[in-house]
Amino acid sequence: MLDLKDIIAKAISKVININEKELEDFIEIPKDTTMGDYAFPCFRLAKELRKAPPAIANDIKENLEIDDKYINKVEIVGGYLNFFVNNSILVEEVLKEFENKNENYGASNIGEGKNIVIEYSSPNIAKPFHIGHLRSTVIGGALYKIYKFLGYNTIGINHLGDYGTQFGKIIEGYKRWGEEYKVEENPIDELTKIYVRINKLCEEDEEILNICRDNFKKLEDGDEYCTNIWQKFRTLSLKEFQRIYNMLNIEFDYWNGEAFYSDKMTEVVQKLEKTGKLIESEGAKIIDLQAQNMSPCIVQKTNGSTTYATRDLAAILYRARTYDFDKDIYVVAYEQNLHFKQVFEVAKLLGIDEKYINGLEHVPFGMVRLKEGKMSTREGTLIKLEDLLNEAITRALKVIEEKNPDLEEKEEVAKKVGIGAVIFNDLANSRIKDEIFDWDTMLNFQGETGPYIQYIYVRTKSVIEKAGYVPEFKDVDITKLEDNQSVETIKTIYNFENILKQVTEKNEPSILSRYLIELSQKFSSFYTANKIITEEKDLQDARLYITYAVGTILKTGAELLGIQMPNRM
C-alpha cells in the first residue's frame, strides 16, 4: 500500500541524515486541512541541529527532492514543513488497494511471527458477572481482534478469578447454609447471597475468617470436599459467563484461571528463595521492594497459602515457556497499578529471558461507575452485566418502534443496536477515564455513538440496494471524484490501516472508535453534498464505489470492536 509518511520521511532523511523511521514518527496529520495533509515539526530537531525551527524548515525545503507524483506542494509555516498530497494519485491508489483487499482493507502482516498474549475479562467464579467487568472484557476483546487483523499470533486468555480466600469463604458459607439456597437453579445469584452472608459473619467474628482462610489452604492442598465444591461452583459459573460472552461477541483461546497455576507456584517460591531475596516477615514470605519505592510483594501468607502475586508470577513463567510471547498484556483496572508494578519487578528474579520482562505490559483502564457511586459484591450493590445488556436491547427496541414500527426483524436489530451502543460507549473515550452510564447519550442516533455509526452503515447499504449493483473499480472514473467531500472521505479511508497500527502501539481501542465516527461524518458530508444515484452513469459509478468502500470499512472496524452491524434500522 502507498505509504506517504514513508515517502516524506525518506526525502527528509536524505537532507539531514537522520534515520527515516525516527523521522516518520515525528510526522503529524494537521487537524486543519488547509495546513496540508502531513506536517513535519522541525522544532523536534532544533537541539540536535542547533538551529531555529524555521531555519531548519527552510534548509530542508531548499534541498528536498520528493516525487511530485505524490506530493505536489511543500510549504513552511513557522517551524513546520507542510506537505500537500496529489489528490488524484491518492484517490486512485486508495481505491485500487480497496479493490484488492475489500473486507480485508486495513489488514497487514506487520505482526507476522510475533506472539501476543492478552489477558482480559477475568471475572470471579461464583460471583455475578457485573458491569464492573465490562471494560476489561470489551477493551481486551477489541485488542484481541485488532492484533489478529494485523497479522499477530494472538492468544486470548480469560484468567478467571477461581482461587483465593474468597473461595474459602464461599465454601464455608455453603457448608453452613447450602440447603437454604437454590444453587442449582440460580447459581450465581444464590452463591452471591451466601458470599454476602458469610462475609458479614467474618467481619463480626475473626475466628470465622480464620476458618475460611484454612478452607482455602485445604483447597490448595487438594482436600476432596473443598475441591469438589469448588469444581461445582466453577462449572456452573462458566455456563453463566458464556451466555454473556456470546452476547458481546467475545472469544478466548484459553480459560486458564488462577487455579490452573496451583501446581506451578512451588517452582516460583523455589526460584525466589535461590536469589536470597525472599525473606520472612511476620510469618509471611515477601520480596522487599523498598529500593524501588514500593511496598513489599507478599509471595506466601503466614498459613502457607499463596497470593495473587504468586499466581501471576507462575503465569508469567508458564506463558514465557508455552507461548514465547513478545508481549504479555494485562487488561486490568488502574486500581491494580501497584500490584502489576510489584509483580513485574519480582518477575526479574525468575531467571527468564529479558525479552519476556520487557514484554510485560499492564493496560489499565478507569472504572465503570453508577451515578450513585461505586459497586461492591460484599454489600450486594451490583448491576449484573446481562441485565444491563437486556435493558439496552429493550430501550433500543422502544426507539425503533417509535421511529420505524414496520421494520422487519426489529428484535434482532434492537439486539445489535442496544449491545453495540453499550460496547461503543465503553470504547469511545480514552480507556483510562472512568465511565459513567448515561442511557440518553448512549442510544442517541445523532451523536457520536454506536447507533450513529450503524445508521450511516445502513445508509450506505440502502444506497447500494437502490442502485441495484456495486460497480467494479475498472469502471470508476477517478476524475469524477475531485470534489472536496469525495477527496476528504477517501483520505479518511486511506488512514484506516494506520489507525489500527496506532491502536496496537498504544493499546487504545478508542482510537478506532473515534476514527469510525470521523469516517461516518465524512461520508455524511459527502452524501449531503453529492447526489449518488444520477442519470450520469460514470458519476454514479464513482460515487457508488466510495459508498461501498465506506460501508465495508465501517463494518470491518465495528466488528473489530465487537459490534455487529444491522442491515436495516
Q: Give the three cell numbers for residue 429.
A: 473515550
Active site residue 127: yes
Q: Do the bridges between strand 38-41 and strand 80-85 make them parallel or antiparallel, or are there none, so unpaired?
A: antiparallel
Residue 73 phi/psi, 5-degree rounding, is -160, 140
Neighbours of 31 (CB within 10 A): 6
Q: What is the 3-state secondary structure (H, E, C) of 39-67?
A: EEEHHHHHHHHCCCHHHHHHHHHHHCCCC
Cβ-contact 416, 399 below 8 angstroms: no
CA distances from 412 to 346, 405, 422, 564 (A): 49, 14, 16, 11
Neighbours of 334 (CB within 10 A): 16
Residues in the chain, overall count: 569
CA distances from 289 to 153, 275, 282, 344, 456 (A): 34, 14, 16, 11, 53
Per the residue annotation, which of 5, 127, 461, 555 is the catalytic one?
127
Cβ-contact 37, 491 below 8 angstroms: yes
Per the residue annotation, which of 31, 69, 133, 169 is the catalytic one?
133
Reported as type and span, the H/E element at residue 330 is strand 327-331
For 508, the 3-state DSSP assignment is coil
Cβ-contact 321, 353 below 8 angstroms: no
Q: How far is residue 219's CA from residue 211's CA, in Å, rounded to a whole number?
A: 12
Per the residue annotation, which of 14, 69, 130, 169 is the catalytic one?
130
For 406, the 3-state DSSP assignment is coil
Active site residue 374: no
Q: How far is residue 258's CA from residue 314's CA, in Å, rounded to a whole number?
A: 9
Q: How far is residue 301's CA from residue 283's CA, in Å, rounded to a whole number?
A: 7
Closest CA to 368 of 174, 57, 204, 136: 136
DSSP 75-99: EEETTEEEEEE-HHHHHHHHHHHHH
Residue 180: partners with Cβ closer than 8 Å, 6 or more residues away: none
Q: What is the 3-state secondary structure (H, E, C) of 201-227?
A: HHHHCHHHHHHHHHHHHHHHCCCHHHH
Cβ-contact 230, 262 below 8 angstroms: no
CA distances from 418 to 48, 199, 240, 559 (A): 53, 35, 20, 15
Catalogue the active-site residues.
Answer: 127, 130, 133
